[in-house]
């Protein structure tokens, strides 16, 4: 759905994005990660043309973004940034309605859409629609920012550190909401984050940038299992890479049929992370956990040794 082809962008002679080629498939979440200044935000802004490429092209469903009219780009591509950027003198309702109003939707259609979106992001419309941004918590403002970006049902959502300013438990709640929303709407998401854990939790594909260059792409499990270079390994924790890998792998990736079937304790789900499994083993003082329903329907076990095998 999005194809970056040899994309470069410089500021005053310094390359912020250097010859990046990357594809993001429709309906997937791709996380752009990398050290500060590696070009993540610049790459995102080139998509909705807040910035223009110096070289290369960005295709959106096959069409060069420079050929799309600004109003069409705004309808098809939502944008969420860390500082949220809500208009302080507008109610939540009016903030969310920004793009639909620009597109000339009827007020009835806008009202319905606003209520639907507030429900979707977990803010009951009756309580929140008429509030102003400064009457909301930071996490609630972030939710409104996401609702606003989704207002005109964009095919693509660009998110730049969307949950950067909220505390970890709220952040996890927002991540869960985003996963649920993405599953429901099928929106393609390109997300910038500094947070390794967030990237692993949310995305199907990681794209690792360093000094403007794309070092590696792949699923979190593949990148963390086979980092392509020392820079990638360093970014994902250096000496702690192994622990981060446990966040990217699932019980189902490593569990095996029980032989003998005996294992004590509450069975763990195949889609739990290996990190969760390890935490349970440590907390419960066991080196084996029963596993609920392997792919073939049989019950299985996970041994401590399964966590460390390559
Ligand atoms: N508008 C601009 N004018 C001049 N230089 C810029 C501009 N925007 C970005 N840069 C420079 O381009 C490089 C990449 O910046 P960018 O914001 O894309 O990195 P980033 O990976 O998103 O960083 P961070 O994680 O710190 O937000 C940096 O060296 C930055 O200083």
Token reading at 25? 């498939």
Report the C-alpha gap between 120 and 107 in whole angstroms. 20
| Residue 140 CA, ligand 1 centroid: distance in Å | 28
Residue nearest to atom 30 of ligand 1 (CA): 37
Residue nearest to atom 28 of ligand 1 (CA): 37
Report the C-alpha gap between 6 and 106 in whole angstroms. 42
Ligand 1 interacting residues, C-beta cut-off 6 A: 11, 16, 34, 36-42, 194
* pLDDT, greater one: 167 or 91: 91
ipTM here: 0.95
Answer whether 0.90 is exceeded by the pTM: no
* pLDDT, greater one: 83 or 1: 1
Q: Is 119 helix (H, G, I), strand (E, B) or coil?
A: helix
CATH architecture of 2-245: 3-Layer(aba) Sandwich (3.40)
| Residue 39 CA, ligand 1 centroid: distance in Å | 6
Report the C-alpha gap between 67 and 57 in whole angstroms. 11
Tell me what pLDDT residue 292 has: 84
- Which of 25-29, 156-160, 177-181 is predicted least confidently? 177-181
Instruction: Grade residue 259 by pLDDT with cuts at 50, 70 and 90.
Output: low
| Residue 120 CA, ligand 1 centroid: distance in Å | 33
Q: Is 217 helix (H, G, I), strand (E, B) or coil?
A: strand
> Which phi and psi angles does 292 have, rounded to 5°?
-80, 130
Q: What residues does each domain of the chain span?
A: 2-245, 250-308
With the most atoms of ligand 1 within 8 angstroms of its CB, the residue from 38, 191, 207 to mutate is: 38
């Amino acid at each position: 759905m999005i194809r970056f082809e040899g994309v470069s962008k410089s500021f005053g002679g310094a390359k912020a994005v250097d010859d990046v080629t990357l594809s993001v498939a429709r309906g997937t979440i791709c996380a752009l990660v990398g050290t500060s200044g590696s070009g993540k935000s610049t790459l995102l802004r080139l998509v909705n043309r807040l910035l223009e490429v110096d070289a290369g092209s960005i295709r959106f469903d096959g069409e060069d973004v420079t050929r799309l009219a600004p109003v069409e780009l705004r309808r098809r591509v939502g944008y969420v940034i860390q500082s949220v950027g809500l208009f302080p003198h507008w109610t939540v309702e009016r903030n969310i309605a920004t793009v639909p109003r620009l597109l000339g939707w009827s007020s009835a259609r806008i009202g319905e859409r606003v209520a639907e979106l507030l429900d979707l992001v977990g803010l009951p419309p009756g309580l929140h629609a008429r509030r102003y941004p400064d009457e909301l918590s930071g996490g609630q403002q972030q939710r409104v920012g996401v609702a606003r970006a989704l207002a005109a049902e964009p095919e693509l959502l660009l998110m730049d550190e969307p949950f950067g300013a909220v505390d970890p438990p709220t952040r996890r709640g927002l991540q869960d909401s985003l996963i649920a929303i993405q599953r429901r709407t099928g929106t393609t998401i390109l997300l910038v984050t500094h947070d390794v854990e967030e990237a692993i939790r949310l995305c199907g594909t990681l794209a690792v940038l360093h000094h403007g260059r794309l070092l590696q792409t792949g699923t979190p499990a593949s990148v963390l299992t086979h980092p392509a270079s020392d820079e990638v390994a360093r970014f994902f924790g250096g000496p702690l890479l192994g622990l981060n890998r446990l966040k990217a792998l699932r019980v189902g990736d490593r569990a095996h049929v029980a032989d003998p079937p005996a294992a004590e304790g509450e069975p763990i789900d195949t889609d739990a992370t290996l990190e969760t499994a390890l935490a349970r083993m440590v907390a419960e003082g066991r080196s084996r956990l029963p596993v609920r329903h392997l792919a073939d329907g049989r019950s299985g076990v996970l041994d401590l040794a399964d966590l460390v095998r390559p």
